[in-house]
Chains A and B, each alone.
Chain A
Amino acid sequence: KQEVTQIPAALSVPEGENLVLNCSFTDSAIYNLQWFRQDPGKGLTSLLLIQSSQREQTSGRLNASLDKSSGRSTLYIAASQPGDSATYLCAVRHGQAGTALIFGKGTTLSVSS
């Protein structure tokens, strides 16, 4: 059974710092991996999706990498801002046809000004 783990569970950093969030999964036979952001009391917003054949994806200050063979992904946030404070969720999908995402429990990030 696929398990997704995110470490650390919580992280506090000062504004301007670069940071890395980690995600690991037990079964490397994934189809893709998706990073989400969730603000308190809100839904999930997709940040980046990496296909199994890709090594990384970038969007603005965010860069996500994927090492499928070792079962790891990282989300790099450059020059963090207080507005980045949220919970970040990692999720993997195994199959293409309709299968659902399996989620980690998230990393709650707090960026202080």
Chain B
Amino acid sequence: NAGVTQTPKFQVLKTGQSMTLQCAQDMNHNSMYWYRQDPGMGLRLIYYSASEGTTDKGEVPNGYNVSRLNKREFSLRLESAAPSQTSVYFCASRPLAGGSHEQYFGPGTRLTVT
């Protein structure tokens, strides 16, 4: 099993450009999440999808949109990138019910906006 995969691993954008970060999981998990990690701020939730067909805002949603394409895939879009969105982005997933409810993380996407 690949677990949670993210593409790309690294990206450099100019201010105003757009891009989509891709995330996929092969564990048949219901819930998926997007976090950003900044020095001194810890991990903060951007958006989440509790189950296929639903999405909700997290702590820092401004400047982002998401799409839960199907049960496996959850993408994060930056419509007009800003330097403040320079960060490391992590996707995560977990089962909605049953098991330990442990959350699994992808390897991250390191984004620089110049």
Which A residues form the contact surface with B (CB < 8 A)? 31-32, 34, 36, 42-46, 49, 51, 89, 91, 93, 96-106
Q: Report the count of interface residues on B (CB-CB < 8 A).
A: 29
> B31, B90, B104, B107: which contacts A98 (Cβ < 8 A)?
B31
Across the interface, do B100 and A49 meet the contact criterion of CB distance under 8 Å?
A: yes
B33 touches which of A43, A100, A104, A106 (Cβ 8 Å) = A100
Partner of B43, one of A46, A49, A89: A89
Assess whether B90 is in contact with A43, with CB atoms less than 8 Å apart.
yes
**B101 x A98 contact (CB < 8 A):** no
Known: A34-B103, A43-B106, A49-B101. A100 touches B45 (CB 8 A): yes
6 smallest beta-carbon distances between A and B, as pairs: A98-B50, A105-B42, A44-B105, A43-B107, A103-B43, A98-B31
Cα separation A45 to B92 with both chains bound (whole Å): 11
Contacts of A100 in B (CB 8 A): 33, 35, 45, 48, 58
Chain A residues whose C-beta falls within 8 Å of the C-beta of B45 in the assembled complex: 100-102
Is residue B41 contacting chain A, with contact meaning CB distance below 8 A? yes
Interchain residue pairs with CB less than 8 A apart (25): A32-B101, A34-B102, A34-B103, A36-B105, A42-B108, A43-B107, A44-B92, A45-B105, A46-B103, A46-B104, A46-B105, A49-B100, A89-B42, A89-B43, A97-B96, A97-B97, A98-B31, A98-B50, A98-B51, A98-B54, A99-B50, A100-B33, A101-B92, A103-B42, A105-B42
